[in-house]
Amino acid sequence: MINLHYRTVFTFILLIQAAVQHTNAQSAYQVETKQPLTPMPATLWGLFFEDINRAADGGVYAEMVENRSFDFPKPMTAWETWPSNRLRDGVFLVINQSAQNAADPKYMEITTGAKDTVGLVNSGFDEGMAFKKELTYNLILRYRQLKAGIHCRAFIFDRRNHIIGHITLPLLAPADHDWHTQQMNIVPQDTAAGGKLLVIFEGAGKLDVDRISLFPTDTWKQRPGGLRADLVQKLYDLHPGFLRFPGGCIVEGNQIVHRYQWKHTIGNLEDRQMVQSIWADDVPDRQTPDYMESFGLGFFEYFQLCEDIGAEPLPIINVGMSCQFDAAEVVPVNELEPYIGDALDLVEFANGDTSTYWGRKRAQLGHPAPFHMKLLGVGNENWGPQYAEHLKLFTDRLKAKYPDVKLVNATGYSRNIPVFTYMDSVLRARKADIIDEHFYDTPKWFMDNSNRYDSYDRNGPKIFVGEYAAQSDRIGSMKNKNNLLTALAEACFMTGIERNAGVVSMASYAPLFAHVTGWQWTPNLIWFDNASSYVTPNYWVQYLFSNNKGTEVVPMTVGGKAIQGQDSTWASAVVDKEKHQLIIKLVNMSSKPSAKSIKLDAAVKSGTIITLSNTHTTIENSIANPGNIKPETAAFKAKGKNVSLTVKPNSLTLIKLDL
């Protein structure tokens, strides 16, 4: 009897549960297009750029010669003499004049006899140089002739050492002992990867060579010495609201001497003082001792890039502290003036008119108009009382002179730990403009925390989700993948950000770029080798949110609550007042299709449906298969105030409907 009773009750409970689940699956979502929650900040979805994983040198900065100026700590890095032993013969001699010229300390002195034919071979970054058939490449030589008589030729090779292009390089500059720059074009007869450059010196003479450089001409906007167009195009396509640069930990440096100093990154290339990247040795199993920052991509180019891709510039400056995971050096407060001065001068460089010292510098570099910088990050991923103390000094001075520039302040490397809560309370008490939060966590964490900002103070500081990425394994592991699972988990979290756009004003996935063999960190948004590039499912999620951000966030609920996990679904909605569109985003984390019915307070007409999905959440893209997973667009039929659809398994679905 007791047993029967127990069983009956148990069966009854199961039936109720099934009914509830059934009802959940079928219960209608409500979208109130006429009750906007908040305007959509134009900056919401942006980019985090750091020279990590060869993002700049060996990446988006299109220079093909590694160690072009012999200034690496080991000056023959990426170079060989040809024939191989001529360095020891004294034909080639590395001169180090760091005492006279710290920015450009080394050059190669070449002394040849009448019968000499010698050369320098550069193997390029990582897997070697990639050439495109019949594209013009600019070979640039910076040299001075001490004794005329040397003739130069240049050859480019494929990976099997077949010559695919060559030129004669008459040295036009007089033997006047002054440095000159000469440029020639070289055109490969074949497409090749894993290639090399050889510059040959013949005949009796004496020559100093300070730089040998090779750039493709198909750079972004065809700028000489510019950026890789395939990579910048991928940024442009995101229509990012802002670009944070130059990092990341490189802002701090492993030691204070290696910190990012923007004034060392502008003007003539030979004035840009190279430093070893913090990423050269920071990741024990991904050592890249040849990782140097040449600053060919420097602050002027970053501002120009922002302008090109329509992103608000968000530079981050060092706050007188080196990376707190590394040497954790702290500049004494009474020695901070040059650091604060650099910050003040940066605002003048970006925004000052040409009557100011730094505004004039900007004009001399080719941009008389200001860059209209509105945001400035003070410190990267700093924390603790010493950061709080430095920050106060920087803030007082910056606000006194530039009250309209909004300052971004850090809360360390993670959330809800004492490091974070301390900084968060300090910054809130100080009424900081914008607080930067970082999340590298599991997909589950991102799904479970889409409600994070629901309870944030609407009248407090704005939030910048400055770095985030779902991790399928530990950071830096080969198994840590940019797959559909991590991408969808981020999409769940992003519906929460979108819904809370009244408090979160900016968000950026991190890191942005990675070379397929030269990386230190996983996962990353865009991957490349020296010839090509591909985007990840995570990129497509960013793309879909950023290109469909609308102008107002509107409520989307089920049973009066935000949709964040009920029936394995996360959702948000925006209205685009300019296009008169409603855009609904639905994430289905279940491996089954799911029927949805959506009730609206306004009639809609047919539109489009965009879906990013696959039956396998482990699916990824790659250099060989860049289009394995990408969004599919189709027409979508709707009429009136009710919308029904079945979302695919493991999917992000956008429905765009004309209002």
The site for ligand AHR (CB under 6 A) is made up of 50, 52, 247-249, 380-381, 413, 467, 510-511, 521
d(CA 168, CA 155): 9
CA distance 659 to 657: 6
Element at 292 (helix H, strand E): strand 292-293
Measured from the CB atom, is 220 or 519 closer to ligand AHR?
Answer: 519
Nearest residue (beta carbon) to ligand AHR = 248
Nearer to ligand AHR, 242 or 521 (CB): 521
What are the structure tokens assigned to 417, written together?
Answer: 């730990």
Q: What minimum distance in Å lies between the beta carbon of 623 and ligand AHR?
A: 22
| Min separation Cβ 49 and ligand AHR, Å | 10
Minimum distance from residue 519 beta carbon to ligand AHR (Å): 11
Minimum CB–partner distance for residue 260 and ligand AHR (Å) = 11
Residue 381 annotated in active site: yes
> Least Å distance between CB 511 and ligand AHR?
4
Residues 466 and 415: beta-carbon distance below 8 Å: no
Asked if 573 and 582 touch (Cβ cutoff 8 Å), the reply is yes
- Secondary structure string (H, E, C) spanning 572-602: EEEEECCCCEEEEEEEECCCCCEEEEEEEEE
Q: Least Å distance between CB 556 and ligand AHR? A: 31
Which pair of structure tokens corresponds to residue 465? 């989700």
Following DSSP, what letter does each residue of 541-583 receive, concatenated?
A: HHHHHHTT--SEEE-EEETTEE-BSGGGEEEEEEEETTTTEEE
Which residue, 417, 470, 479, is CA-closest to 589? 470
Task: Give, in degrees to the nearest 5, the angle at Cα 551 between 548 and 554.
Answer: 90
Q: How far is the CB of 249 from ligand AHR (least distance, A)?
A: 4
Both structure tokens of 601: 């307070």
- 339 close to 331: Cβ distance less than 8 angstroms: yes
* Torsion-angle region of 145 (φ positive above 0: left; ψ -120 to 50: alpha; else: beta): beta
Give me 22's structure tokens: 């059934």
Which residues is 604 bridged to in the sheet?
640
DSSP string over 357-416: HHHHHHHHTT--S-----EEEESSS--HHHHHHHHHHHHHHHHHH-TTSEEEEE--SSSS
b/e burial code for range 491-501 (CB count within 10 A of at least 16 → b): bbbbbbbbbbb
Q: Beta 594-613 vs 640-647: how paired, if at all?
A: antiparallel
Nearest CA to 463 out of 399, 397, 507 is that of 507
Q: Please give the biggest Cα pair distance in the chain.
A: 112
Nearer to ligand AHR, 243 or 610 (CB): 243
**Residue 567 main-chain phi, psi, to 5 deg:** 55, 35
Nearer residue to ligand AHR within complex by CB, 299 or 413: 413
Q: Which of 381, 437, 467, 620 is catalytic?
A: 381
Q: Residue 188 class from Cβ within 10 Å (0-12 exposed, 13-18 middle, 19+ buried)?
A: buried
Is 267 exposed, middle or buried (CB count within 10 Å of its CB: 0-12, 13-18, 19+)? middle
In three-state secondary structure terms, 221 is helix
Dig out the tokens for 275 from the structure. 């430093």
Residues 6+ apart with CB under 8 A from 251: 259, 260, 316, 317, 318, 379, 380
Smallest distance from the beta carbon of 510 to ligand AHR, in angstroms? 4
Q: Which residues are catalytic?
A: 381
